[in-house]
Amino acid sequence: MTTLLSILVLVFIFVAIWQMVKIFDLTQVGKTTENNQVANDDDNRINGYLMIGFLIFIYVITIVCFVKWGDLPLMSNSASEHGPGIDSLMIISMIVIFFVQTVTQFLLHYFAFKYKGEKGRKALFYADNNKLEAIWTIIPVIVLAGLIIQGLFTWNSIMNIDEEADPMVIELYAQQFNWKARYSGPDNALGKANVRLIDINRANELGVDEADPNAQDDVIVKELHLVVGKPVVFKMRSQDVLHSAYMPHFRAQMNCVPGMITQFGFTPTVTTADMRETEEMKEKVFNINEIRRGKSKSLIAEGKEGLEPYTFDYLLLCNKICGTSHYNMQMKIIVETQEEYDEWMKGQKLFVDSLVKN
Amino acid sequence: MSAHVEEHGHDDHGHHHKETFITKYIFSQDHKMIAKQYLITGLIMGIIAVVMSIMMRMQIAWPEESNPLFKALLGKWAPDGVMSADIYLALVTIHGTIMVFFVLTAGLSGTFSNLLIPLQIGARDMASGFLNMVSYWLFFTSSIIMVCSFFVEAGPAAAGWTIYPPLSALPMAQGGSGLGMTMWLVSMAIFIASSLLGSLNYVVTVINLRTKGMSMTRLPLTIWAFFVTAIIGVISFPVLLSAALLLIMDRSFGTSFFLSDIFIQGEVLHYQGGSPVLFEHLFWFLGHPEVYIVLLPALGITSEIIATNSRKPIFGYRAMIASIIAIAFLSTIVWGHHMFISGMNPFLGSVFTFTTLLIAIPSAVKSFNYITTLWKGNLQMNPAMLFSIGLVSTFITGGLTGIILGDSALDINVHDTYFVIAHFHLVMGISALYGFFAGVYHWFPKMFGRMLNKNLGYVHFWVTAVCAYGVFFPMHFIGMAGLPRRYYTNTNFPLFDDLASVNVVITIFAIIGAIFQIVFIYNFFASIFYGKKAEQNPWRSNTLEWTTPVEHVHGNWPGAIPHVYRWSYDYSKPGHDEDFVPQNVPLKEGEEELQH
């Protein structure tokens, strides 16, 4: 039925367009312009003005987006030591882009308006100017050189993991469709692991080598706890397909690749509790809860359950397509003080104790 | 019928050739007919892919809600009209594949390279008409296989258009990695064969069959763009073919090129020693040049149309050629910017950042040259011209955000978010599509002997232009807010609840934009039969295709092939009465050819 209706609608649209074209053509009868479907002076004029209209539209949509949604992007409240470096580079790049965009779009659309065709006018025969070409080759070169240099410095400082700072080693383990974390324990060394050692019956889900002395004090958990101010290096593994560990608030991301260990390191700088108290976050959470309240109302009216109010938490998301439930592969991250962390760690089971004895 | 076939055997030369329905319309070896076949196949594939994107946008804006459109089109994949997560990923995958390869590679390059290369260089046909025909029919076959993959039991391929293994390699990883993925790979292998035959033909034709006087520096920029595009295609497509073949080996014959240490659904698989990162390298070695395979023909078409409709020579002809070549060269050494966080050595990240940002330079040169071409012109606002100006606009907007994505440090946080979607849709999706539309409006008279209705063209352009920005501009913001792409729904993340309203706005623009494409479709098909009869040279253009008769003849020119005496951009040249001087007009006494 719906299919039939859709087809009918489509047919009607075609007929409507056909009739409108006919009507328009009839209004043109008697005018001196020849109807050869090539733009005449009227078309040039109207479309020239529309070009200016479109330029304004581009500017307006830019301004509206910044005013209305400008607070959405993660730009200022990074929660890691390297975060501000990325953010400032981002802002510099945005300013460059914004400037170039505004100027070039203006020139493009303004020229399209200014030089709209008129019968009898002749265009300027102007084919080449090496000086101009040189100018707009060299200016981008200089600007890009600056961006490249700052970008490379930022990149290298992020990717070079400072082993001397004695970072806490944590394994991130990805599988369809959840995350696990393995802490290396007091020895700060992860026990060897391979998927071939996985033994579901003994609850060795990560394939950790039970014989490895380093593995004895490992701790496997489903919620990531980090100590504020303490560098951490993640060793990432995946057991099945590609996943990507994306921690947007820490400006951190790395793919998890089956068959190899990838790594990413950073130092968290703001505890979850402190982040919840920042003005920006309070406002964001308030807005989100407004939206959720509205949705809850309509849900309850339908006789369904309402939505829980939202409290902020750092998240680890999967950001590489990994199958059906890719959209719901997440893990909570909690950044806390050393004392809170120790307290939490005390309550966790060691890997050796978590195994099913037989 | 048989009598005709008989004649066919004896009468083999040129335009006296009698043709049957089959040799004329189906297994045609005439480049003009093959171009039309590419165009119409590409259009149909485009309609399919647009409908898919609208379904995706509806799901994102109104997640998990019942929708009659889903119910009608998705059948068992949308029980009670609610889209399933599996088919969402399949739509993502097939939309990307069809748009990138079937519409913007074959539909754009296939149509206009075929139509314009022989006509603009002054040749009777392609170097090999037979290979050209085979190329189209391989493309047609691969299209059919790709569309048919929607009807297999476990669903079509759903691993993203990049089909990264192991997801694409293991049938147990997701439904779409079974027969659906096999069909995807077979379809793509055939597609690549088609593309290679086409590209080889283009290269050979441009090098060998130029008419007398048509030196390389007199070629229209369209031909330069098609020529260079074909070269990158020949260089990079075989690499994807090899990746696809190795993936087939991994899937079906137990090899471990891309797989290692996998535990899935309760069992350890035997694969050992392969690496998915290797696949990523092979894929993007094609994948990135592919972006330019899509874009360069559009830029070539635009160069021609902007010059013609500005009634001015294209500004900086040599710089334009140099930038096409520079972009083509650089495009083959930047693939790693898709892989900054793939786990490859961070040092490589630095190298690829450097080469990637270099591409901004020739791109900037091209943009400024377009803008300067408009300066002091006498702009004829035909629909093709509007789409060309639109292309320059979206090329700038989309290209600029490449500065962010190409910078490895910044890529960390926006990689695989909606920011990427916004970037590449503007810079290669919409731009290339505008190039395609511009080409259709401009060369429709050449293809079908009739004119497209200009007023419908204006409506089509302005609504499309507004909607394209309405869809993709806000998308940057939700991307920078950290929203990952390819999520079936965002409702599991309260964190993203404040982005939901942006997604609704985007979807509304997308729906309006898609509906107004009907105006174009109507205009296209109605004008084939009822359009105004075209004059021989409606746009008063210089290039050789407009010296051929409106009614097509086999061999293009009824008499001798015209000779060429000048470049194709002598618009408004002082000393001439008309504001255009076709390439086949000899230099006047004392007239100098411009030292371009």
pLDDT confidence band for A32 (50 / 70 / 90): low
Identify the domain containing residue A348 by its residue range. Answer: 169-274+309-354
Number of structural domains chain B divides into: 1
User: What's the mean pLDDT in B423-434?
Assistant: 95
User: How far is B547 from B544, CA to CA, in rounded Å?
Assistant: 5
Q: In what order do the strands lie in the sheet with A262-266?
A: A219-221, A178-183, A168-175, A232-238, A262-266
Per-residue pLDDT band at B374 (split at 50, 70, 90): very high
Does residue B582 lie in a domain region?
no
Collapsing DSSP to helix, strand or coil, A255 comes out as: strand
| Chain B CB contacts of A133 below 8 Å | 316, 319, 365, 369
Asked whether residue A344 is domain-assigned, the answer is: yes
Residue B11 domain flag: no
| Predicted pLDDT at B577 | 87
> What's the confidence (pLDDT) of residue B12?
42
CA neighbor of B246 nearest in space, from B290, B276, B202, B210: B276
Q: How many CB atoms lie within 10 A of CB A279?
A: 8
Of A86, A101, A242, the CB nearest to B397: A101
Q: Determine the residue type at B69.
A: L
Which of B169, B285, B202 is CA-nearest to residue B238? Answer: B285
The per-residue pLDDT for range B271-288, each reduced to its tens digit, is: 999 999 999 999 999 999
Confidence check: pLDDT of B16 > 80? no
Identity of the residue in B350, B403, B522 whose CB atom sits nearest the CB atom of A17: B522
Tell me if B364 and A252 make a contact (CB, 8 A cut-off): no
Domain membership of residue B7 (yes or no) is no
Q: Is A287 on the interface with B (CB under 8 A)?
A: yes
**Above 50 in pLDDT, residue B23?**
yes
**Nearest chain B Cα distance for residue A346, angstroms:** 30
Taking the C-alpha atoms of residue B435 and residue B113, their distance in angstroms, rounded to an integer, is: 13
In a domain, A26, yes or no: no
Nearest to B495 among A3, A315, A322 (CB): A315
Strand-strand pairing, A232-238 and A262-266: antiparallel
B320: in domain: yes
pLDDT tens per residue across span A199-254:
988 889 999 999 999 999 999 999 999 999 999 999 999 999 999 999 999 999 99
Determine the Cα–Cα distance for residues B524 and B456; give it in Å rounded to an integer: 10
Share of residues in chain A with pLDDT > 70 (%): 97
Interface size, chain A vs chain B, as Cβ–Cβ contacts under 8 Å = 410
State the nearest Cα–Cα gap between B525 and chain A, in angstroms. 11
Query: CB B276 to CB A242 under 8 A?
Result: yes
pLDDT band at B472 (very low <50, low <70, confident <90, very high): very high
Residue B534 inside a domain? The answer is yes
Q: Would you call B167 and A158 a contact, using CB atoms and an 8 Å cutoff? A: no
B160-170: pLDDT as tens digits: 999 999 999 99
Q: Rounded to whole angstroms, how far apart are CA atoms A171 and B384?
A: 56
The β-bridge partners of A244 are: A255
- Whether B560 is covered by a domain: the verdict is no
Confidence of residue B93 (pLDDT cuts 50, 70, 90): very high
Q: At B137, which CATH number? A: 1.20.210.10
Q: Rounding to the nearest 10 degrees, give the CA dihedral for residues B371, B377, B383, B384.
A: -60
How does pLDDT run across B536-590, given as a tens digit for each residue? Answer: 999 999 999 999 999 988 899 998 999 999 999 999 998 898 889 999 999 988 8
Judged against a pLDDT cut of 80, whether residue B454 lies above it is answered with yes
Q: How far apart are CA A287 and CA B502, in angstroms?
A: 14
| Whether the Cβ atoms of residue A42 and residue A120 lie closer than 8 Å to each other | no
Residue B3's pLDDT band (cuts 50, 70, 90): very low
Closest chain B residue to A240, measured at CA: B262
In chain A, the largest separation of any two C-alpha atoms, in whole Å, equals 98
Q: pLDDT category, B10, cuts 50, 70, 90?
A: very low
Say whether B262 and A3 touch across the interface (CB within 8 A).
no
A165 — alpha (psi -120 to 50), left (phi > 0) or beta? alpha
- B311-361 residue pLDDT tens: 999 999 999 999 999 999 999 999 999 999 999 999 999 999 999 999 999
The pLDDT of residue B583 is: 93
Mean pLDDT of chain A: 91
Domain residues for B118? 20-259+271-547
> Is residue A218 situated within a structural domain?
yes
**Residue A318 maps to a domain:** yes
Residues A173-184: pLDDT tens digits? Answer: 999 999 999 999
What value does the mean pLDDT of chain B take? 92
Q: From CA A233, how far away is CA B174, in angstroms rounded?
A: 31
Beta bridge partners of A179: A174
Nearest by CB: B72 against A2, A44, A127: A2
Question: Strand A243-247 to strand A232-238: parallel, antiparallel, or no bridges (unpaired)?
Answer: unpaired
Residues of chain B found within 8 Å of residue A124, distances taken between Cβ atoms: 312, 375-377, 572
The domain total for chain A is 1
* Closest Cβ opposite residue A123 in set B275, B354, B376: B376
Q: Are A193 and A209 in contact (CB under 8 A)?
A: yes
Flag whether A29 is in a domain: no
Question: Per residue in B259-269, pLDDT tens?
Answer: 999 999 989 99
- The answer to whether the CB atoms of A251 and B413 lie below 8 A apart is yes
8 Å CB contact of A127 and B594: yes
Q: Does A285 touch chain B (CB under 8 A)?
A: no
Name the 3-class secondary structure at A282.
helix
Report pLDDT for A29.
67
Say if strands A330-336 and A224-227 run parallel, antiparallel, or are unpaired: parallel
Q: What angle do CA A73, A77, A79 make, to 5 degrees?
A: 120
pTM of the shown model: 0.94
Mark which residues 169-188 of A lie under 8 Å from B by CB: 176
CATH label of the domain that carries residue A343: 2.60.40.420
Of B89, B354, B572, the CB nearest to A321: B89
Looking at residue A34, what is its pLDDT? Answer: 66
ipTM for the predicted complex comes to 0.94
Residue B317 and residue A128: Cβ atoms within 8 Å? yes
Q: Is the pLDDT assigned to residue B5 strictly greater than 50?
A: no
- Which of B362, B414, B193, B220 is closest to B302 using CA atoms? B220
- A31 pLDDT tier (thresholds 50, 70, 90): low
